[in-house]
């Protein structure tokens, strides 16, 4: 039993589409290109199973989200590991709770389109304003500051296709991560140009945040074992 506890403590629980950029510490600015990178962590479902996804910039809590801009459409996450898009500064406000959401076109989890999330990160240089509904989502996941003065225009996006504000959906288990991700292990060119639920795990801290809560719980179990 002790060996099993120690093994669980040493094994991180990660989701299948593992975002390596952006992470919590990434500096993202409206009007500038953002390179989104991901990798397969080896757990089910595989990237081949997930297949073609849409990639969106979203705000919201762990259970309800709304997206403000579609960054890429019809990206096969098993054949590409990066896509670049310019954040439209007019789609929202400066906010530290933005995240990337991947939504599979065909693969479903518990009757809903399979979704995966990046860590939450801040976006500055935004010139727009959230709607009343969007402010509700934004306030549930971070702080909002006034947009910068002046106007910036999105330029040269390889896959941005304008903004969209789809209705928020409730994931089946977890939401966007609040921790940072691991380093990039390499990327391939996107094979196509350019909404929630999630992996079958149920954390609220994301891929990197999963390990700490699990470690605390298992550590307590180990301590109890020796008492």
Digit-coded pLDDT (tens) for 90-111: 999 999 999 999 999 999 999 9
Q: Which two tokens stand for residue 134?
A: 């969007």
At 142, is the pLDDT very low, low, confident or very high (cuts 50, 70, 90)?
Answer: low
Give the pLDDT band (50/70/90) at residue 178. low
Question: Is this structure's pTM higher than 0.85?
Answer: no
pLDDT grade for 144, boundaries at 50, 70 and 90: low
pLDDT band at 174 (very low <50, low <70, confident <90, very high): low
Give the mean model confidence (pLDDT) for residues 204-220: 39
pLDDT band with cut points at 50, 70 and 90 for residue 183:
very low
In 39-171, which ranges are continuous DSSP H helix? 47-50, 132-139
* Joined tokens for residue 81: 């590991």
* Torsion 137-143-144-148 (CA) sign: negative
CA quadruple 199, 196, 116, 53: dihedral positive or negative? positive
Any residues with CB less than 8 A from the CB of 173 and at least 6 apart, and which?
197, 198, 199, 200, 201, 202
* Calpha distance 126→124 (Å, rounded): 5
Whole-angstrom Cα distance, residue 93 to residue 89? 8
Per-residue burial over 155-192, b if 16 or more Cβ lie within 10 Å, else e, is eebbbbeebebbebbebbbbbbbbbbbeebeebeebee
Q: Return d(Cα 14, Cα 126) in angstroms, integer.
A: 31
Residue in 139, 64, 65, 63 with CA at minimum distance from that of residue 95: 139
Q: What pLDDT score was predicted for residue 62?
A: 82
Over residues 45-89, the pLDDT tens digits come to 999 999 999 999 999 988 889 999 999 999 999 999 999 999 999
**Structural domain boundaries in the chain:** 15-201
Cβ-contact 31, 86 below 8 angstroms: yes
Residue 130 in tokens: 């959230």
Quote the pLDDT of residue 28: 97
Angular region, 147: left φ>0, alpha ψ -120 to 50, beta rest:
beta
Is 16 a residue whose pLDDT tops 60? yes
Query: Is residue 113 predicted with pLDDT exceeding 70?
Result: yes
């Amino acid at each position: 039993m002790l060996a099993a506890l120690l093994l669980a403590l040493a094994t991180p629980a990660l989701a299948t589409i593992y975002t390596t950029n952006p992470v919590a510490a990434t500096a993202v600015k409206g009007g500038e290109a953002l390179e989104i990178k991901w990798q397969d962590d080896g757990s089910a479902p595989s990237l081949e199973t997930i297949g073609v996804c849409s990639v969106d910039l979203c705000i919201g809590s762990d259970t309800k989200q709304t997206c403000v801009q579609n960054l890429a459409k019809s990206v096969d996450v098993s054949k590409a590991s990066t896509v670049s898009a310019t954040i439209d500064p007019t789609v929202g406000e400066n906010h530290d709770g933005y995240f990337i959401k991947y939504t599979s076109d065909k693969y479903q989890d518990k009757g809903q389109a399979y979704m995966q999330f990046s860590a939450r990160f801040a976006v500055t240089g935004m010139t727009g304003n959230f709607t009343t509904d969007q402010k509700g989502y934004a306030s549930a996941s971070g702080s909002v500051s006034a947009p910068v003065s002046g106007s910036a225009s999105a330029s040269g996006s390889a896959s941005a296709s304008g903004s969209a504000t789809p209705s928020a959906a409730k994931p089946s288990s977890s939401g966007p991560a609040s921790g940072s991700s691991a380093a990039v292990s390499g990327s391939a060119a996107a094979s196509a140009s350019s909404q929630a639920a999630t992996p079958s795990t149920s954390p609220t801290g994301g891929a990197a945040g999963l390990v700490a809560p699990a470690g605390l719980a298992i550590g307590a179990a180990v301590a109890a074992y020796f008492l």
